[in-house]
Structure 1
Amino acid sequence: MTSQQSRQNQLHQFIVTSAQMSAIEGRLFAAGMPVAALMEKVAQAIFKRVIALYPHPRVRRIGVLVGPGHNGGDALVVARELHFAGYEVLIYRPLSKGKELTGQHGEYVASLGVKFHDQIEPLLDCDLIVDGLFGFGLERSISGEIAEGINRLNAQSQPVISIDLPSGLHTDTGAVLRTAIQANHTLCLGLWKLGLFQDQALAYVGKAELIDFDIPLADIQAVLGDRHPIHRITSTVAIAHLPLPRPQLTHKYKEGHLLAICGSQRYMGAALLCGLGAKASGVGMLTIAVPNSLKPYMSQQLADALVVGCPETASGAIAHLPDSIDLSSFGAIACGCGLTLDGMGVVQAVLESDRPLILDADGLNALAQLGTISTLSQRQAFTLLTPHPGEFKRLFPPAQDEGEDVVRAVRQASEQTGVVVMLKQARTAIGYPDGSVWINPESTPALARGGSGDVLTGLSSGLIAQAIARKIPVEPLVQTAVWWHAQAAISAALARTELGVDAVTLSEFLLQVLPQFARSGNDAQRRSG
C-alpha cells in the first residue's frame, strides 16, 4: 500500500464536529495557508466532481445557491468555473452582505455577465442545482423567504449537489433546522462531518463523497488527539479481520466455542436466525440452548450445532439451564434472541458468569426490568449490548430525543456501564468505554425486516468467540460484524431488491459476499508488499 493510499484510508476514518473542523482549519491558516488559496483549491475540486457527475451537454443550465459565508464563496468559484466551461449559470443570492472574500468572488462573477437573483424562482427550471447556502456550523433555524425558497426547490425534480453538507442541517446532530435542502449528492469537504451520519439527516444527504484537500494528518491528530474520537467504519478496517485466518494445525474448540441461549415457543425462528448468523461467522463450535419443545426443530435445521433442550415454563420459554451446561466451558455467550421475559432467570445467570457476554432483544429487556444495568461495570469479562432505539431508551432513560446527537448518547451509555454498546439503527453506532465511537456509514432499508438483528447477534457472537479463543482483541470484531452484516444486506438487495431480503436470505449472503472481501484484503497486502 502506498503512503497516499494509507493516508486516504486514515482520512476516511475520521469524523469531526463543527468545533473540531474549525480548529483544524484554524491551524492551517495559522501555519500560513491563505484563506483565498484554500477556497480556490477546494472549489476547483468541487467543480471537477460536478462536471464529472453531470457533464455538458447532458446538463446545460445550472443554478448555484450562494450564502454569505465561505461556503458561498466556494459556490461562487464553482459558478465561475462552470461559466467558463460553457454551462449557463444562474445564481440565487438571498443575502447580499457576507464575508469579504465571498463578496469579492461575487463581484468578479457578476462582471462575467452571470445573472444574480434574490428570489429562487428563476432557478427552478435549471437542470442542476449546486447548494452553497450554508456550510458547517449552522445552528439557527432557517426561516422567511430563504426557507420558502428551499421548500420550493425541494418540490422540484432536478438533482441537487450540496457543498459540505445540505444547507439547513445541523453539522453535529444532523437535525433539520426547520427546513433543509434535499440533496442527491453531498460533497463533504476535508473531513467527514458528524451530522451526515445521523439517522435524521439521511433523507437529505443523498450519496455522500469526501473531497480531500490535503489536510496534514498532523493537524488532524493535534486537534482530535486520542480522547473521545469518532470513527467511520471503512472497508479497510472491516476486512482486516475477514476471513479470520486459521493455522494449519487446529481443531474446532481452538476456533471458538459459542453458547447461544435463545428461543421460545413464541419466537422459535429467532433461535434459528441467531444460529445461522453464528454459523456464517466460522465459529468452531456452536451450542444452542433452547426450550425442550424446540430441540427437534433446531436439530433438524442446524445439524452441525449441538442443540441442548432446557426445562421450559408454561408459556414455552426457558425456565433455567440444565445441569449439563457449564457456563465456564464456553468462550462466549449470546443471550436473548426470542427468549421472552419469562426467561429472565437465565439472563440473571449469565450476567453473574465470568464469560464474555452478548445481550440482545429480551436479554436487554430483562436487564432493564431487573434494574441491574448499573452492575454491568462490575463484570470483568467483555460485554456487548446490542439494542435498537426502543430497547436503548428502556435501558438508558432518558435516552436521546430526535435531533440529539446519537454519538453523545451511545458514548454516555458505554462510559456509564463500562461495556460496549451497539445502537442498531440506519447508521449503527458502537460506543466503547474509553469514549470512542465507531459509526457504520453504509446500510440499506432492506434490514428493516424481522430477524435481521438476530442474524447480527449470531454473527457478532461467533466472531467474538473466535477472538477469545485466539487471544486477539475483541473490540475490532464488533465493527467488522456490523459492517459485514450491512454489506451482505446491500449485496442481497442488489440481487433481490430491498423487498426480497428476508433474514434467512441475509444469513446466506453473509458467506456469498465474503470471498470478495478476502480478495480485497489480499490485493491490499500485495500492494503493501
Structure 2
Amino acid sequence: MQPDNWSAAPADRASGEGFERFLDRVVTAEQMRAIEGSLFEAGMPVAALMEKVAGRIAAWVVDRFPRQHYPRVAVVGGPGHNGGDGLVVARELFALGYSVQVCSPASRPKPLTADHLRYGEYLGIQTFQRIGDLAPCDLLIDGLFGFGLERPVEGAMADVVAAINALDCPVVSIDLPSGLHTDTGAALGAAVRAAHTLCLGLWKQAFCQDEALTYSGQSHLIGFDIPAQAVAAVLESAPAVRRTTPATVRAKLPLPRQPDTHKYRVGQLLLVAGSRPYAGATLLSALGARASGVGMLTLAVPESLRLMVLAQMPEALVVGCPETDQGAIARFPDDLDLGRYGAIACGPGLSRHAMAPVQAVLDSSAPLLLDADGLNLLAELGCGDTLPSRAAPTVLTPHRGEFERLFPGQLAAQGTAGAAAQAAAGQTGAVVLLKGACTAIAHPQGHLWYVPESTPALARGGSGDVLTGLIGGLLAQKIAGAENPLAMALDAALVGAWWHGQAARAAAADRTELGVDGFHLAQYLNPVLAQVLA
C-alpha cells in the first residue's frame, strides 16, 4: 500500500550534531544566500563546497540511475555555480564509466565553472555549446540555473529549456528546475520540467508551492554538512516556516494513551453536517472522525437523515434536528448542549440554508472547525467581525475558492498561499488551513507549516469531508486537558492534513489516481498510520 516515493526527502544523515532540528525548515533565496555566505566568510572554499555537493549528487544519481540501465548521460551546465555543480557531476560520472557529454550554452561562464569545463574537456568529455548537437541520452542533468533566479528565461536560454523538455528521457534538476522562482515557485518565462529535483542543503520555499509541482517532479533533499550554527544565525530569529514530516506527526499524535483511560477522556466531538441534497457528506466526514480514534462521536443531522446515518454509524450518537423546507438543519434541539463537547466540526453538506446552526456554533464556547458551507455562511457573516471575539480556538479549512470568499484579494496580494494563510490567521485569530496540492497551515502568531506531500487523487468530491472529520476528531482529543488550546488546534490541523495526504497517496498507489473516492480514502487512514508508527 506504500507508494514508491513514500519518503520524498531522505534525511541529511551526514550533517553535524544539532542540524537535525533544521531539517524541516523552509528557506527563502535570501536566507539561503546568507547561510552559504556565512560558510564562505568562515573559510569554506567555494570550490570545496562545490566538490562536496557534486559528490553527493553523483552518489544519488548512481543509486537511482545505475550505469547498466542508464549508460548515456548528458549534463547541461549554466554560467554560474549551479552549472559548476553539474560539470563536477559530469566528471564524477565519467570516472565511474558512464558515457558523458556536456552542453555549456553560456558564452561567459564564471571562472570556477569555466575551470571545470576546461578540465572536463581535458579528460575527454565531449562538450558542445548547442544543445541540438548532443547525441541521444538516457538521462539528462539540468544544471542551467539554480536558486535565486529572478530574471525571465528568454531567447537562447529559453530555447535550451524547450529542447530539454522535448527530450524522451528522465531529467534530474540540481537544486531547482531551471527557470523557477525560488520563493514563489512560478515559472520565469520558460522552465524545465524535471522528473526529479535535488534540493541542496535546506528546503527552498518553491518546493511548497502548487505552482512548482508541474516542474519539480519528485523532490529530494541532498545535504552537504551545513554547520548548525550557520543555519541558526539566519533562521532562529526569523518566523518559523516548516514542512510537516513523519517525525512531526509522531510527536503530535494523541498517543500513547494512558492505560486507565476511557472514552470520555479521549475526546468528545460534535459533527454538524448534512442536508437532504448532500446526505453523503455526513457519512464521509463521520468516517474521517471514526478513523481519528475520538472517544465519543455525536452527529447533528437533519431529522430526515437520522435513521440512515445511524444505520451506517452505529457507534455514534445521532441527533435529529428540525429542518428547513430545503432539507437543511433549521436549528439545534433545545436539549443539545454545545458546551459539553471537546470540539465541534461544522460544515460538510450543510447547504447555504443552515445559517442558524452555524451562528450557534460560532457563539459557543467549544473549539470549532469550520469547513465547506460552514465557511460559506461565515463569509456572509464576515469572519473579521465574528472570529476575533471567540474565546475558544477556531480552525478554518478552506480551499482556494472558499478562501477567496472569506478573504477577498488576499491570495493575489500576498503572492503565495502560505503568506495569504498567515495574513488571514493574523486577521482572525484562527488557525487557517488553506487546502491545495501543497497545503499551507498558519497560526495567528505567525508560524507557518506546509504539507507538500499530496496526490491529484484528492481532486475529488468528498475528500475534504473526510479531512473535516479527521481533524475534528483529532482536535477533540488534543484539546482534552490542554494548557495551550490554540497550539493544540494547530497540532490537530498539521497531523490531520499530513495523515489525510499520506492515506490518499497509499490509496492511489493501490487503486490509481482515478480510484480514490471518499469512502476508500477513509479506509486507508488507519493502515497508513500503523505504518508510520511502525
Q: Same fold (TM over 0.5)?
A: yes
Q: Matches of 2:50 and 2:262 in 1, distance apart? A: 59
Deviation at 1:100, TM superposition (A): 1.9
Deviation at 1:124, TM superposition (A): 6.0
**Cα deviation 1:131-161 (Å, max 9, x = unaligned):** 0000000011111122122112212211111
**Cα deviation 1:67-115 (Å, max 9, x = unaligned):** 1111011111111112222222221111121322112222222222323
Deviation at 1:402, TM superposition (A): 11
Among residues 40, 47, 51, which one is paired with 1:40 in the alignment? 51
Q: Matches of 2:528 and 2:85 in 1, distance apart? A: 40
2:134 maps to 1:134: no
Q: Residues 350-389 of structure 1: matches in 2 within 5 Å? A: 350-389=361-400
- Corresponding position of 1:496: 511
Whichever residue aligns with residue 33 of structure 1, its letter is M
2:441 alignment partner, SS class: strand
Q: Matches of 2:134 and 2:356 in 1, distance apart? A: 64
The verdict on how the C-alpha distance between 1:3 and 1:89 changes in structure 2, with shifts beyond 3 A counting, is closer
Which consecutive aligned stretches of 4+ in structure 1 deviate over 6 angstroms post-superposition?
Answer: 1-6
Deviation at 1:262, TM superposition (A): 0.9
Q: Matches of 1:101 and 1:227 in 2, distance apart? A: 33
2:529 maps to 1:514: yes
The verdict on how the C-alpha distance between 1:166 and 1:403 changes in structure 2, with shifts beyond 3 A counting, is farther
Deviation at 1:427, TM superposition (A): 1.2
2:337 maps to 1:322: no
Whichever residue aligns with residue 109 of structure 2, its letter is G
Deviation at 1:312, TM superposition (A): 0.6
Deviates more, 1:115-124 or 1:75-84: 115-124
Q: Residues 23-102 of structure 1: matches in 2 within 5 Å? A: 23-102=34-113
2:23 maps to 1:12: yes
Deviation at 1:382, TM superposition (A): 0.9
Deviation at 1:198, TM superposition (A): 0.8
2:301 maps to 1:290: yes
- Decide whether the 8 Å contact of 1:15 with 1:231 is kept in 2: yes
- Corresponding position of 2:494: 479
**Cα deviation 1:188-214 (Å, max 9, x = unaligned):** 100011102211111111111111101
Among residues 138, 147, 160, which one is paired with 2:158 in the alignment? 147
Q: Residues 195-206 of structure 1: matches in 2 within 5 Å? A: 195-206=206-217
The verdict on how the C-alpha distance between 1:365 and 1:6 changes in structure 2, with shifts beyond 3 A counting, is farther
Whichever residue aligns with residue 494 of structure 2, its letter is Q
Structure 2 unaligned runs (5+)? Answer: 1-10
Among residues 112, 115, 122, which one is paired with 1:104 in the alignment? 115
- Decide whether the 8 Å contact of 1:332 with 1:355 is kept in 2: yes
- Decide whether the 8 Å contact of 2:503 with 2:521 is kept in 1: yes
The verdict on how the C-alpha distance between 1:374 and 1:29 changes in structure 2, with shifts beyond 3 A counting, is farther
- Decide whether the 8 Å contact of 2:14 with 2:223 is kept in 1: no
2:327 alignment partner, SS class: coil
1:79 alignment partner, SS class: helix
Q: Residues 451-470 of structure 1: matches in 2 within 5 Å? A: 451-470=462-481
2:420 maps to 1:405: no
Deviates more, 1:205-214 or 1:486-495: 486-495
The verdict on how the C-alpha distance between 1:374 and 1:89 changes in structure 2, with shifts beyond 3 A counting, is farther
Q: Residues 224-303 of structure 1: matches in 2 within 5 Å? A: 224-242=235-253, 244-303=255-314
1:255 alignment partner, SS class: coil
Q: Matches of 1:241 and 1:405 in 2, distance apart? A: 26
Q: Matches of 1:178 and 1:335 in 2, distance apart? A: 43
Q: Residues 105-120 of structure 1: matches in 2 within 5 Å? A: 105-120=116-131
Deviation at 1:481, TM superposition (A): 0.8
- Decide whether the 8 Å contact of 1:264 with 1:318 is kept in 2: yes
**Cα deviation 1:376-400 (Å, max 9, x = unaligned):** 1222211100001111111111032
- Decide whether the 8 Å contact of 1:173 with 1:406 is kept in 2: no
- Decide whether the 8 Å contact of 2:254 with 2:478 is kept in 1: no
- Decide whether the 8 Å contact of 2:177 with 2:191 is kept in 1: yes
Deviation at 1:11, TM superposition (A): 3.7
Structure 1 unaligned runs (5+)? Answer: 520-529
- Decide whether the 8 Å contact of 2:16 with 2:226 is kept in 1: no
Q: Matches of 1:337 and 1:427 in 2, distance apart? A: 22
Identical amino acids, percent of aligned pairs: 54
TM-score when scaled to structure 2?
0.94
2:102 alignment partner, SS class: strand
Q: Matches of 1:339 and 1:165 in 2, distance apart? A: 43
- Decide whether the 8 Å contact of 1:166 with 1:181 is kept in 2: yes
- Corresponding position of 2:3: none
- Decide whether the 8 Å contact of 2:301 with 2:329 is kept in 1: yes
Q: Matches of 1:118 and 1:126 in 2, distance apart? A: 16
Q: Matches of 2:459 and 2:20 in 1, distance apart? A: 30
Q: Matches of 2:134 and 2:491 in 1, distance apart? A: 48
Among residues 196, 212, 232, which one is paired with 1:185 in the alignment? 196
Deviation at 1:249, TM superposition (A): 2.0
Whichever residue aligns with residue 89 of structure 1, its letter is V
- Corresponding position of 1:209: 220
TM-score when scaled to structure 1?
0.94
- Corresponding position of 2:317: 306
Q: Matches of 2:153 and 2:183 in 1, distance apart? A: 17
- Corresponding position of 1:527: none
CA RMSD of aligned residues (A): 1.9
- Decide whether the 8 Å contact of 1:227 with 1:435 is kept in 2: no
Whichever residue aligns with residue 288 of structure 1, its letter is L
2:231 alignment partner, SS class: helix
